[in-house]
């Protein structure tokens, strides 16, 4: 919340126990920078994406998702709906 930016080569993975639209919603209140938000289903396929703007009240995925990946805003064009992410070596 108090970071100045997400590093270009890093991200944040938020996981839920099941797929949902409500549980994977994000808000940008108190954020001082924009981010790329990717919503993934249980198979790590991107089902929605948005360039989330700072101070925007809430974003919901268009379809149910189980994971949210938050990345640097400049990463937005590098991902498409339907892409499957392979996550490895993360902590």
Average pLDDT of adjacent 10-residue blocks, the chain of 91 residues = 81 96 96 97 98 96 98 98 86 59
**Other CB atoms within 10 A of residue 6 CB:** 19
Whole-number pLDDT of residue 35: 98
Number of helical H runs and strand E runs in the chain: 0, 4
Whole-number pLDDT of residue 68: 98
End-to-end CA distance of the chain: 19
Task: Record the tokens describing residue 5, joined without a space.
Answer: 């930016």
**Other CB atoms within 10 A of residue 48 CB:** 20
């Amino acid at each position: 919340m108090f970071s100045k930016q997400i590093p270009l080569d890093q991200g944040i993975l938020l996981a839920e126990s099941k797929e949902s639209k409500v549980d994977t919603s994000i808000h940008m209140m108190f954020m001082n920078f924009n981010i790329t938000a990717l919503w993934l289903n249980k198979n790590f396929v991107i089902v929605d994406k948005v360039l989330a703007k700072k101070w925007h009240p809430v974003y919901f995925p268009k379809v149910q998702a189980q994971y949210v990946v938050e990345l640097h805003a400049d990463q937005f064009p590098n991902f498409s709906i339907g892409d499957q992410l392979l996550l490895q070596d993360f902590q």
